[in-house]
Structure formats: structure tokens, C-alpha cells
Amino acid sequence: MGINKFLDDSDELKIPEKNYKKKVDNVLKTKFEDEVKVPNLNLIDNLNKQSKRLPKKVPMSLYFNEDDLLLLKAISELNDTTVNKTIMSILELPLKVTRENLPLDFDIKKLAEEYDKNSKKKKV
């Protein structure tokens, strides 16, 4: 009974679309669509702000499952970029949305310092 489905050529095969980035973007868009504020569209002000403040980059070790790392390397090779840039491009939008929707009294630096202090205690 089950094999007849494969032998019948009249049925049209439907191959699912595997564009995961589009799926993730759509989920993020629908989830945060009402909450995201439209940024200031004055291009001159935006360019001045960007030129004055370049983000400081700091190192951090990340550990991946071997299969995940191989996938990231393959994607990076296809895009002719580094694994770090690939990871940052994946994280860029969720981090931006999260940062824009934090409560006003949320102190990022204080919590990050506490994290550093507590993580060093765990290592010892």
C-alpha cells in the first residue's frame, strides 16, 4: 500500500523551501513588529553618530558542536567571509531588537561586570 505512492508518477512532489534565514527573519518581524521603534531617518545625523562612535571589539571564546562549526565554516566559505562575521551577522538583528526593547532601568554594564566576577569564581 505504501509503495504505490512512490510508484505513481501522477502525483506532484513538493519540495519544502529550506530558507531558514527568511523563516527566522519572519518570526522576528512578527514577534517584535509592534514593539520596534522606527529609528531616526535623518541620514546626516545618523552618519555623524556612526563616524564618532566605533564599537570596541573584545575577544571571547565560543564552543560549538562539531557539526554546527562545520556548517558555519561551510557558510563562511560560500560567502567568502570569516566564521566570526557569519556569527555576528546572525546575531546582529536579535541583539539590536533586544537592546532597543530593554527596560529603562536595565544596567547592562553592571550586570556584565557581575557576570564576569561570578564566572571567574566558577573557573577556580
Q: What does the alpha-carbon distance between residue 35 and residue 77 come to, in Å, rounded to a whole number?
A: 35
For all residues of the chain together, what is the average pLDDT? Answer: 76
What is the number of structural domains in the chain?
1
Residue 77 lies in a domain: yes
pTM: 0.50
- The residue segments making up the domain with residue 88 are 60-104
Instruction: Calculate what percentage of the chain has a pLDDT beyond 70.
Output: 58
Q: What does the alpha-carbon distance between residue 118 and residue 112 come to, in Å, rounded to a whole number?
A: 10
Q: How far apart are the first and last CA of the chain?
A: 63
Residue 91 lies in a domain: yes
Residue 71 lies in a domain: yes
The position carrying cell 551577522 is 89
Structure confidence at residue 69 (pLDDT): 94
